[in-house]
Chains A and B, each alone.
Chain A
Amino acid sequence: MENHAHADTHDMADHAHAHPHEHPKLSFIEKYVFSMDHKVISKQFLFTAMFMALAAAIMSTLFRMQLGWPGHNFAVMHYFLGDKWYKGGLLDPNMYLGLVTIHGTIMVFFLLTGGLSGTFANLLIPLQVGARDMASPMLNMLSYWFFLIASIIMMISLYCETGPAAAGWTIYPPLSALPQAMDGSKLGMTLWLASISLFVVSSLLGGLNYIVTVLNLRTVGMKMTRLPLTIWALLITAVLGVLSFPVLFGAAILLIFDRSFGTSFYLSDIYINGTALSQTGGSPVLFEHLFWFLGHPEVYIVIMPAFGIISEIMSVHARKPIFGYRAMIGSMLAIAFLAFIVWGHHMFVSGMNPFLGSVFVFTTLLIAIPSAIKAFNYITTLWKGNIIFNPQMLFVIGAVSTFISGGLTGIILADSALDVAVHGTYFVVAHFHIVMGLSAVLAMFGGVYHWFPKMFGRYMNKKMGYWHFWTTFICAYGVFLPMHFIGLAGVPRRYFNNDIYPAFEKLQHLNVIISVFAIVGVLAQFIFFINFFYSVFKGPKSEQNPWNSNTLEWTTPIMPGHGNWEGPLPVVHRWAYDYSKPGKDVDFIPQTVPMEEGEMDEGEHV
């Protein structure tokens, strides 16, 4: 950093206040550990999330082994679970539920919320709006450290004598509230609640920062209607998180009170282990309302950043403007609004008033309209494009495919009368993994391949990227396509085995197919890990603008220092999607290029 500190002294005067080289020399700890640089924090989020995701993926292979070949003795299971949980070659049902619960918790919160938003909001918001850093780098740093502490506590809970939390990732009380009800509701549940409470703190610190940065620190000329869709998506995600996560926090605090201090927010008329508890007047349905008031916006918190990443990568690689920029923003806003009034569709069987159920059917199916608009706009963006198949393009096309497939089965689940026939079965598991899990994960991979040159100044290997994509994508459909049919046969999720249900055994061969695809799919991720870590150190060096993109992050130096731009901040003159504009020599026009006489700004189109 310091070697060109005096290279451009002649124009130092006009921007010295913001010049990155004016920073005092930072120690290693300040620069890489307790860093306040958004780019370093972004990498910290990415590495932590990658580790957590790997752990959660291994958990999924373990319970898939149990479901594919119940009772079969696997040495690898014994390696991970030891004598205590894998006694005599038999998985402990408590641990089975524990694995399912922690897999879900990590994937939803730690990978797809913390990891996805944490990585890309931190990396892209300052770089794409043209800011030197986040509005509050200090809060940003704290956001990561709360995330890390939450992650550590969650991992520690796996090592409890009584096992990790095991009531499912939705932790419905009274099961989660009563330590007498199951081992997983003892210390494991306490740690789960502690971890998630800290996670909420992290999410709020991050979210508030993202919102303020997007609204206040846009560079000159960066009107809201010129923002790349990534930033719109991350902004809306942050708003959703800030409005909904506190409700989860409240729900968790009340649950902590019920568990530890004898209150009865969620408990009433309970008789357990020969004792009638004194708690009365509470309602477990209250918890469901509170949980899903976060829980449903949460799935959009997961999918919105994916929308943003898909839009950006697809437009760059199709060499075409994203189709319907305004409609994309409008549909994201509509989805965000509706996200808050659909939570009841998780509760059609909860005993909630059926009329309320019908209202939720209506609002839920309304969400299909903006979702359909997005899907059609993506397809139209591809139409008559000039498509370059870098690995990230494959991933985002895959993400749109899973979003369509999973979104369509959502029509069944949104319809309360049909939901009661498949609620809580593998049909639901298949649906949400495809529409939310896979779409977001595939988009996240796409994002990593796309912005890897910005993060590490190098390229990832494309051939390995292709192998990674096709194995992951084929395995993803291999797992979740047959799973729908298991659900349609009425098989409930979270069953340890189907020994006493001969009718379900008829589909056991599908369970074997699913498990094989799941295990191969997880192993395929090592292609990614190897490619990733190799390329960080040895990959071919990146150019200034490797994908010929219009957005501002590619106007910074290849490895930007703290402060991002060496000279003054860039000035924006146009929207981010002028690809293949007629009458131009090159097929991209960066946002910093001034408009020519008589040129139309497409972002301004109403």
Chain B
Amino acid sequence: MIKLLVYVAIALAIILIFQLMRIYQLSAEVKGKHVGKADDKDNRSQGLMMLIFVLALFGALIWCLYDVRGKLLPPAASDVGVTSDNVFFFNWVIIFIVFFITTFMLFYFPYKYKKQKDTKAFFFPHNDKLELIWTVVPSIALAVIIIYGLSLWGKMTGTPDPKAVKIQIYAKQYDFTARYAGTDNELGKTDYRLIDDGAGNVVGMDSTDKAGWDDIITKGDIHIPVNTPILFECNAREVMHGVFFPHFRDQINCVPGITTEVHFTATITTDSMKMITKDSNFYYLLICNRVCGPGHYTMAQHVVVDSPDEYKAWLAKQHPYYERKTQGKLTASK
């Protein structure tokens, strides 16, 4: 019943608005004004609005910058991340300069050159010199941007340090599992047909590959040592997932059927970052950034960057998967 009344009210409101428009239109016709075409008065008011708007837009942008200070990501905590922040800053400077100049002109010209009685337009169909300038200048700026960006890209995706600590990130709906390569720094083979969650073989480890016998599968926080190159080898179980480290400014997808890699060196320990951000609850994040189902938003893991000693101590407390689960069988097969 209430719904019906609401519908009736909406219908009446629309009729009312239509009638008001009709009256407005008729009275305008009587006064000899046109309700569909702008006159000099409209040109003045809308021109002024253009000028007000562009100033308000700049004001809003400055307010946003002021408001978010300290609420965005803390300083980059990886080697590539530090360079990334520099490249970012460089690009931002160019972007802001171009934005302020072009946007101001775009709104100021309509304000300045609004049609009034006796005003005329300047016939100006082309100008080769001007067009050449704004072809060449952006080209040069972009060349610099491309070269600067690609030099970082090369570093990010180049051959990883051969001594990098290998860690597998295994993503499934809706969590991450880490597998450490153990003393040989070699990850054992896996096969998706050997996955057995009941037995704790989440990643599908193949027991015939000796390289995997010392591999450590961990749940919960992912520990990595500071100032040590890390190579993450990423896999997914059923759908695509994303490995996104916002604080390290790096990201890769986990794709079923292939192994993807991301590598960097963390430069700030979690404890130091707590001091820098003055936040005792600070933690680094590994989050899923490829929609993977209704639980996508809960798929995250804390990353702990340890000092070398802390890392050694933590690692010593972990046990290889096979030692933990199938000790008897394995010794027999040896």
Contacts and interface: CB of A to CB of B under 8 A. Distances in A.
A415 B87 contact: yes
B43 A387 contact: yes
B238 A272 contact: yes
Nearest to A347: B253
A471 interface: no
B297 A496 contact: yes
B18 interface: yes
Nearest to B251: A420
Interface string B73-111: 100000011011001100100110011001101110110
A464 to B, nearest CB: 8
Interface in A263-303: 267-272, 274, 276, 280-285
Contact of B103 (A404, A485, A489): A404
Interface stretch (B56-64, B176-184, B326-334): B56-64
Given A401-B106, A492-B244, A540-B29, A385 B238 contact: no
A531 B25 CA distance: 12
Interface string B247-265: 1011111011110100000
B188 interface: no
Interface in A136-189: 166-168, 172, 174-175, 178, 180-183
A241 B225 CA distance: 51
A530 B91 CA distance: 44
Interface stretch (B205-213, B214-222, B284-292, B309-317): B284-292
A341 to B, nearest CB: 15
B256 A268 contact: yes
A324 B192 contact: no
Interface residues of B, number: 116
B115 A383 contact: no
A417 B251 contact: no
A429 interface: no
Contacts of A175: 239-240, 291-293
Interface string A472-516: 011001100110010011101011111011110011001000000
A131 interface: no
Given A284-B256, A357-B153, A416-B153, A405 B290 contact: no
B109 A383 contact: yes
A33 to B, nearest CB: 26
B318 interface: no
B121 interface: yes
Contacts of A539: 25, 36
Contacts of B290: 172, 424
A324 B250 CA distance: 42
B121 A384 contact: yes
B73 A269 contact: no
B35 A369 contact: no
Given A383-B113, A500-B300, A320 B124 contact: yes
Interface in B134-191: 134-135, 138-139, 142, 145-146, 149-150, 152-154, 156-158, 173
B204 interface: yes
B66 to A, nearest CB: 11
Given A175-B291, A383-B113, A418 B84 contact: yes
A85 B62 CA distance: 40
Contacts of A181: 173, 238-239, 292-293
B287 to A, nearest CB: 6
Contacts of B295: 93
Contacts of B21: 461, 464, 530-531, 534, 538
B240 A94 contact: no
Nearest to A354: B157
Contacts of A510: 64, 67-68
Given A269-B192, A325-B126, A540-B25, A462 B153 contact: no
A473 B289 CA distance: 30
Interface string B36-64: 11100011001101100100010011001
Nearest to A79: B3
Contacts of A376: 102, 130, 134
B134 A494 contact: no
Given A420-B251, A470-B49, A489-B68, A357 B106 contact: no
B121 A318 contact: yes
A132 to B, nearest CB: 28
B294 A182 contact: yes
A420 B50 contact: no
Given A97-B291, A385-B121, A485-B64, A461 B25 contact: yes
A357 B73 CA distance: 26
A507 B297 CA distance: 17
B256 A324 contact: no
A29 B332 CA distance: 84
Contacts of A408: 95, 98-99
* Most chain B CB neighbours (cut-off 10 Å) among A284, A421, A478, A489: A421
Contact of B88 (A421, A466, A605): A421
A460 B251 contact: no
Nearest to B70: A506
Contact of B22 (A361, A494, A531, A538): A538
Nearest to B56: A474
A498 B287 CA distance: 12
B192 A411 contact: no
B276 interface: no
* Most chain A CB neighbours (cut-off 10 Å) among B37, B47, B84: B37
Given A424-B289, A546-B36, A580 B57 contact: no
A318 to B, nearest CB: 6
A411 B95 CA distance: 8
A394 B251 CA distance: 41
Contact of B152 (A390, A417, A530): A417
B47 A421 contact: no
Contacts of B138: 368-369, 372
A488 B73 contact: yes
B68 A507 contact: yes
Contacts of A421: 81, 84, 88, 246, 249-251
B278 interface: no
A97 B18 contact: no
Interface in A407-463: 408-409, 411-412, 415-418, 420-421, 423-425, 453, 458-463
Contacts of A351: 252-253, 255, 258, 260
A242 interface: no
A463 B290 CA distance: 45
Contact of A324 (B131, B239, B257): B131
Contacts of A397: 50, 106-107, 110
A283 B294 contact: no
Given A349-B251, A488-B73, A389 B110 contact: yes
* Most chain A CB neighbours (cut-off 10 Å) among B57, B102, B135: B102
Contact of A411 (B18, B145, B300): B145
Contact of A492 (B91, B146, B289): B289
Contact of A386 (B53, B115, B150, B156): B115
15 contacts: A94-B294, A174-B239, A174-B240, A267-B257, A321-B123, A325-B126, A327-B131, A354-B157, A383-B124, A404-B99, A415-B145, A417-B156, A421-B246, A424-B290, A539-B25
Interface of A: 92-94, 96-97, 166-168, 172, 174-175, 178, 180-183, 267-272, 274, 276, 280-285, 318-327, 349-351, 354, 357-358, 361-362, 365-366, 368-369, 372-373, 375-380, 382-390, 393-394, 397, 400-401, 404-405, 408-409, 411-412, 415-418, 420-421, 423-425, 453, 458-464, 466, 470, 473-474, 477-478, 481-482, 485, 488-490, 492, 494-498, 500-503, 506-507, 510, 530-531, 534, 538-540, 542, 546, 577, 579-582, 587, 602, 605
Closest 7 CB pairs of A and B: A459-B36, A268-B257, A490-B246, A354-B157, A389-B46, A415-B149, A384-B122
